[in-house]
């Protein structure tokens, strides 16, 4: 809304200068006192962070290699199964002997659950744990669906799941696609890996009280985390700020706040080989800087004491100043805002309409106005009462506010159940579009109105558009044209938009 606020007075400049002067003096004194130890403290802090970064990067590399070795074992086992399934001699063996040949490289793998092969429907055709294969379908598992839908998918790591074939602990599936001779989808080979493998691997690492280790898929799905929390496993952290900074990178180090807990940490991350996984090592910033802070305490006592006094005084004066400015702004807002609807007041509308009218004539731009009236509102008030009527007006104003999106547009309560919208630089088509958006939004809100023919609250809207050059130079007549369109809308049955276009000559020079 249009506001006329006088700025730059001597009193305003003084009120701004006082807190600035106090804060500036405090900063100068703090710099004098802090100069003696600032360089040494800064360098010690950098050294502490660099040491923690190096240690975290080394740890992430060690864990990456350990995990990659196991995954490579499973990958080799899966490829062996796929190759064996293409060998007629192997497939002609007895089921027990065939399983022994196909799965011998996977039987000894640590924490491996089952190694399975399926047909293109998800039914088991090979099962390292059973001869014949158990009568189970895995067509609903993500490791089956992804290979069926994407022929180019390589090794896939599934979300954590509870195996349905055994009573094993929660596991992940590591899968590869089986292709028919013609290249079509023939099924998958999948090996399940118990999450206990990662849990035991992580438990042997010391990271301090606030440290974390997280194994996460490239899409943000948590596979394992230390400290262990069962409800965190499988959680999606892809939208967290810290994960989004490195989701497309293979390795690096970042500061950030945890996605699971609000702890600021130094995070080092590394991609696990060629697999869609990352290992994240997080060291709490408190742990990283603990020793440095102890050494810095002796140097900081005087600085803290002086800073506390200066900051307290600065905050006190700044708060008083901000409260005064806020009070002034609130007063201006009260003058220009309708208390019930939160839209602009009639006074603010009149000021803005005059300004936009002159601007349109001066620059030759179109100008549109909407007049909006709640249909049969007196009957609504009579039936539901005035409190419900106020609520209905507030709902209508929300619909109006939601339909206008440009900063230059203004919506106002014109009076009673009537509203108005000024749309600068908007032609008739654009004005009708906004009006229809308002009308449909009110209708979609489905506010009951049993006294109405439609049984729900509706609005009628009159739109007027002024184009330059025109013979029409009267702002009041401009609003009257929109008002006439509004009454036409009501006369034609309500719940509709009627538009009128006016042409007039520019008389402003």
Q: How far apart are CA 351 and CA 366, in angstroms?
A: 18
Residues 280 and 374 in one domain: no
Q: Which residues contact 300 (CB under 8 A, 6 or more apart)?
A: 41
Query: Is 509 part of a structural domain of the chain?
Result: no
Q: Is 364 left (phi over 0), alpha (psi -120 to 50) or beta?
A: left
pLDDT value, residue 506: 40
Residue 433 falls within a domain, yes or no? yes
> Mean pLDDT highest for which of 1-10, 67-76, 301-310, 366-375?
366-375
The CATH number of residue 196's host domain is 3.30.450.20
pLDDT at 121 exceeding the cut of 90: yes
What pLDDT, on the 0 to 100 scale, is given for residue 178?
Answer: 93
Asked if pLDDT for residue 199 goes beyond 70, the answer is: yes
Q: Is residue 333 part of a domain?
A: no
Burial class (CB in 10 A: 0-12, 13-18, 19+), 120: middle
Both 233 and 289 in one domain: the answer is: yes
pTM over 0.85: no
Residue 9 lies in a domain: no
Average of per-residue pLDDT values in the chain = 84
Mean pLDDT of 217-227: 92
- Is position 248 within any domain? yes
* Residue 3 lies inside a defined structural domain of this protein: no
DSSP state string for 26-79: HHHHHHHHHHHHHHHHHHHHHHHHHHHHHHHHHHHHHHHHHHHHHHHHHHHHHH
450: CATH? 3.30.70.270
CA angle 117, 118, 119 (to 5 degrees): 140
Q: Are residues 351 and 202 in the same domain?
A: no
C-beta separation of 317 from 18 below 8 A: yes
Instruction: Give the mean model confidence (pLDDT) for residues 430-450.
Output: 93
Fill in the DSSP letter of residue 204: T
Of 52-56, 102-106, 445-449, the poorest mean pLDDT is in: 102-106
By CB neighbour count within 10 A (0-12 exposed, 13-18 middle, 19+ buried), where does 406 fall? exposed
Q: Give Cα 448 distance to the centre of its chain.
A: 34
301 and 191 in a common domain: yes
356 and 295 belong to one structural domain = no
Quote the domain boundaries for residue 370. 346-500
Q: Does 314 map to a domain?
A: no
Bigger pLDDT: 310 vs 93: 93
Query: Which of 337-341, 407-411, 501-505 shows the lowest mean pLDDT across its residues?
Result: 501-505
Q: Which of 308, 338, 369 is the last residue of a domain?
A: 308
Percent of the chain with pLDDT over 70: 87
Q: What is the pLDDT, as a whole number, of residue 160?
A: 94
Q: Which tens digits make up the pLDDT trace of 300-329?
A: 787 777 777 776 777 677 677 667 766 766
Residue 427 in domain? yes
pLDDT attached to residue 29? 73
Q: Could you tell me if 215 and 283 lie in one domain?
A: yes
Bridge partners, residue 370, by sequence = 421, 463
Residues 405 and 279 placed together within one structural domain of the fold: no
Specify the pLDDT at position 103.
82
Residues 375 and 482 occupy one common structural domain: yes
Average pLDDT over residues 328-350: 77
Decide which of 287, 308, 329 is a domain's last residue.
Answer: 308
Alpha helices for 385-474 (secondary structure H): 386-403, 428-445
Helix/strand/coil for 421: strand
pLDDT at 18: 62
Per the structure, the count of domains in the chain is 2
Q: 303 with 358, same domain?
A: no
Structure confidence at residue 235 (pLDDT): 92
In this structure, the answer to whether residues 259 and 354 fall within a common structural domain is no
Residue pLDDT, tens place only, 446-479? 999 988 888 999 999 999 998 876 655 678 888 9
What tens digit of pLDDT does each residue of 11-24 get? Answer: 556 656 666 766 66
* 108 and 223 assigned to the same domain: yes
Mean pLDDT of 482-488: 92
Domain shared by 284 and 180, yes or no: yes
């Amino acid at each position: 809304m249009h506001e006329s606020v006088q700025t730059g007075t001597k009193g305003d400049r003084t009120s701004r200068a006082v807190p600035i002067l106090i804060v500036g003096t405090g900063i100068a004194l703090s710099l004098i006192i802090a100069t003696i130890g600032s360089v040494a403290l800064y360098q010690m802090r950098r050294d502490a962070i660099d040491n923690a970064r190096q240690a975290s990067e080394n740890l992430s590399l060690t864990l990456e290699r350990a995990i990659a070795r196991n995954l490579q074992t499973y990958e080799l086992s899966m490829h062996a199964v796929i190759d064996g399934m293409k060998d007629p001699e192997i497939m002609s063996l007895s089921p027990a002997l065939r399983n022994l040949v196909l799965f011998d490289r996977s039987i000894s793998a640590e924490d491996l659950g089952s190694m399975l092969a399926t047909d293109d429907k998800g039914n088991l055709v090979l099962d390292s744990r059973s001869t014949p294969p158990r009568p189970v379908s895995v067509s609903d598992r993500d490791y089956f669906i992804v290979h069926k839908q994407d022929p180019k998918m390589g090794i896939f790591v599934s979300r954590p799941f509870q195996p349905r074939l055994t009573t094993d602990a929660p596991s992940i599936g590591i899968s590869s696609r089986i292709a028919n001779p013609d290249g079509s989808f023939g099924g998958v080979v999948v090996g399940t890996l118990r999450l206990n493998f990662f849990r035991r691997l992580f438990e042997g690492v010391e990271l301090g009280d606030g440290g974390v280790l997280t194994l996460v898929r490239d899409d943000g799905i948590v596979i394992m985390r230390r400290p262990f929390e069962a409800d965190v496993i499988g959680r999606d952290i892809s939208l967290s700020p810290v994960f989004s900074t490195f989701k497309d990178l293979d390795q690096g180090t970042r500061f950030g706040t945890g996605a699971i807990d609000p702890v600021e940490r130094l995070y080092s991350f590394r991609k696990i080989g060629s697999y869609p996984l990352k290992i994240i090592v997080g060291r709490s910033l408190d742990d990283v800087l603990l020793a440095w802070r102890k050494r810095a305490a002796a140097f900081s006592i005087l600085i803290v004491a002086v800073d506390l006094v200066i900051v307290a005084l600065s905050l006190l004066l700044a708060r008083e100043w901000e409260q005064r400015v806020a009070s002034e702004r609130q007063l201006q807002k009260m003058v220009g805002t309708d208390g019930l609807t939160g839209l602009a007041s009639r006074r603010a509308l009149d000021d803005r309409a005059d300004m936009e009218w002159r601007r349109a004539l001066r620059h030759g731009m179109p100008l549109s106005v909407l007049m909006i009236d709640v249909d049969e509102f007196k009957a609504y008030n009579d039936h539901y009462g005035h409190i419900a009527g106020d609520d209905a007006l507030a709902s209508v104003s929300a619909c109006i506010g939601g339909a206008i999106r440009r900063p230059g547009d203004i919506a106002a309560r014109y009076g009673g159940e009537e509203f108005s919208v000024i749309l600068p630089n908007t032609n008739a088509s654009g004005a009708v579009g906004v009006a229809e958006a308002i009308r449909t939004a009110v209708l979609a809100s489905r506010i009951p109105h049993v006294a109405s023919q439609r049984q729900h609250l509706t609005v009628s809207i009159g739109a007027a558009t002024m184009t330059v050059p025109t013979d029409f130079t009267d702002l009041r007549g401009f609003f009257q044209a929109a008002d006439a369109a509004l009454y036409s809308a009501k006369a034609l049955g309500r719940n509709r938009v009627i538009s009128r276009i006016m042409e007039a000559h520019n008389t402003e020079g």
